[in-house]
Structure 1
């Protein structure tokens, strides 16, 4: 077997060295060109967010001093670490760093008072924010950002949150307003062992229930119940009881979904006024439909015609607004294209069935 030429071995070694220096890992020591204000050799290391390349190093340097180094890829977005008292993003204090287009690095502290932009407040240490020691800095090296700081506390909170901002939307020098993060993850860190657990946000299951119940109730079962009332009249009185059961189930699902939405709004203080207003309008129309069923006049009554106009009209507007609000809710919740595609497929199926049944009625006439 032939040996590789010396020049190729040298190039291979240099490439491996450069590549290893551009990659950060808990399996290799931290070597930065710019000296840090504290020693990093004895730090514990954890890959706290593997999908985003976040690595956290820390050590208790003194009884009331903790050293931290957060390493993350240098992309055209901000990166941050937040210390939360309860595991929620709201109420936490975050250290955020980013690199300007001209290469200037910035590191700021923010208090996350809510999800609305005006509730995310820039804070100025040392009088406010985290108890940081002087010398906190950010180092940019080999396409990675290193946020380094000393926390003056007997023991930091174990609830840590990491976030990545949206692409090309960096805080500007006028007020350094922080835009909503693109992705985030909440973890619980055991400082003694270095083990951490990714926490499931309690609002995630509530948000999912809110979306599924409203989608199933207002936007899927409601039109199915309306189709039963229109196309199954020959099976009297079966169509009426089936219509009543489906619409009652849809109203119950929708009502619970709206209640979940109010609970979410209270917990997250989210700025979703349009989505909320549409939801309240849909719920109001649903209540009107229930009242219409209770005061339904007899078939022989002269006002039955007007009641039918009212019942059909309100029902159609309800279904139309519900479909719009479901798509809007998927957008606000960043649920992804799969939710949009799935819901759209159901609507297309309902539309095709309705079109076929209307054509049959037209040919009969």
Structure 2
């Protein structure tokens, strides 16, 4: 069992082998601190990045971005600490949001890089050459987990992980936090989750329930069809907005999860095809092709519902939502499932009664003919 340690101020932290640094700064998030020695004559910086309360199987990165803010263009110093105790330090240039943090050379000379894991602290030691006549750079730091197969998993999208960047001046020792409004990013993330949960995860299943079970009640006429169409149309429109917001988040903030993204695109394609087929290509009830249309409509519809529910649950994990939201959604789905079971029983009872009444009427009619 790993007992969390209280992060001590950077100026009181003692490195092994009596390594000393002239400057240090406690970073605002992710329980991290930065220590460095700057050599003005050569432009070389010796850096130690210290991450407290690191997990056994995790990766840690500290990077500088000489050209811009944020993730793209960052030149990262990586440490991968596996569950078996093996630890590896290397460099990785970040060229896209879809990076796998693979090993590669940086855009400036790196003279040394190593790492240590002691008392739940992962420390990156490195020495590198700053760009000419430049002591202030953008920097970013991050952490994530390592899968059992050794794959580096994406970092969390909690507020602290979205705030882990800023600027540092190695000469003056001034470090500033990110000046971007993280609240707007978190709000957009929440809006994306709410829209898609309501549309794909709740309204779509309700629309199917309305279409399947209301039509068995005689006297409603076409009301069931109008409700089914209205519910699914509104769900589709909300889903389109949610889909667009997801693309925006992925393209502008680098929030990527391949399974979630692929299923989302598939859902949008299936829903679009379903709308086109339902509105433009629906044959009349007595048409010979109606049975094939029904099969297509049912298969695509139920596949969309199943994939939508799965993707909503996956989305909660991707966006690092609080457990209560996932539990509440599961409660809604279970409630809808119970309603479906009850309505299915009622449907079969009504169908059986209708068949019995029909047989009785036919039997009475036959007796009347014989008499």
- TM-score normalised per structure 1: 0.70
CA distance in 2, matches of 1:255, 1:195: 39
2:40 to 39, 45, 62: 62
1:354 to 337, 340, 357: 340
Cα deviations across residues 178-214 of structure 1 (Å, max 9, x unaligned)? 7235544522246464442486398765555444433
1:166 aligns with 2:139: no
- Per the TM alignment, residue 297 of structure 1 is displaced from its structure 2 partner at its CA by 4.7
1:83 aligns with 2:64: yes
Contact 1:82 1:94 in 2 (8 A): yes
- In structure 1, the residue matched to 2:28 is 48
- In structure 1, the residue matched to 2:102 is 121
- Per the TM alignment, residue 347 of structure 1 is displaced from its structure 2 partner at its CA by 1.2
- In structure 2, the residue matched to 1:26 is 9
> Closer, same or farther in 2 for the Cα pair 1:102/1:297, shift >3 Å?
closer
1:218 aligns with 2:196: no
- Provide the secondary structure at the position in 2 that maps to 1:40: coil
Which deviates further from its counterpart, 182-191 or 343-352? 182-191
> Closer, same or farther in 2 for the Cα pair 1:114/1:144, shift >3 Å?
same
- Per the TM alignment, residue 94 of structure 1 is displaced from its structure 2 partner at its CA by 1.2
Which deviates further from its counterpart, 238-247 or 195-204? 195-204
Contact 1:60 1:66 in 2 (8 A): yes
- Per the TM alignment, residue 60 of structure 1 is displaced from its structure 2 partner at its CA by 5.0
1:147 aligns with 2:124: yes
> Closer, same or farther in 2 for the Cα pair 1:288/1:106, shift >3 Å?
closer
Q: Which runs of 5+ in 2 are unaligned?
A: 354-371
1:179 to 144, 149, 152: 152
The size of the alignment, in residue pairs, is 326
- Per the TM alignment, residue 92 of structure 1 is displaced from its structure 2 partner at its CA by 1.6
1:259 aligns with 2:240: no
Which deviates further from its counterpart, 296-305 or 312-321? 296-305
CA distance in 2, matches of 1:136, 1:277: 37
Q: Which runs of 5+ in 1 are unaligned?
A: 1-21, 171-177
CA distance in 2, matches of 1:101, 1:251: 44
Q: How does 1:275-354 map to 2 (within 5 A)?
A: 275-291=260-276, 292-297=278-283, 307-308=293-294, 310-331=296-317, 335=321, 337-354=323-340
Contact 2:60 2:144 in 1 (8 A): yes
CA distance in 2, matches of 1:305, 1:139: 67
CA distance in 2, matches of 1:111, 1:347: 43
> Closer, same or farther in 2 for the Cα pair 1:143/1:259, shift >3 Å?
closer
CA distance in 1, matches of 2:266, 2:165: 38
CA distance in 1, matches of 2:93, 2:303: 42
Contact 2:50 2:123 in 1 (8 A): yes
- In structure 2, the residue matched to 1:246 is 231
CA distance in 1, matches of 2:295, 2:149: 50
CA distance in 2, matches of 1:55, 1:245: 55
- Per the TM alignment, residue 309 of structure 1 is displaced from its structure 2 partner at its CA by 5.0
* RMSD of Structure 2 on Structure 1 (CA): 4.0
- Provide the secondary structure at the position in 2 that maps to 1:109: strand
1:72 aligns with 2:21: no
Contact 2:35 2:48 in 1 (8 A): yes
1:97 aligns with 2:103: no
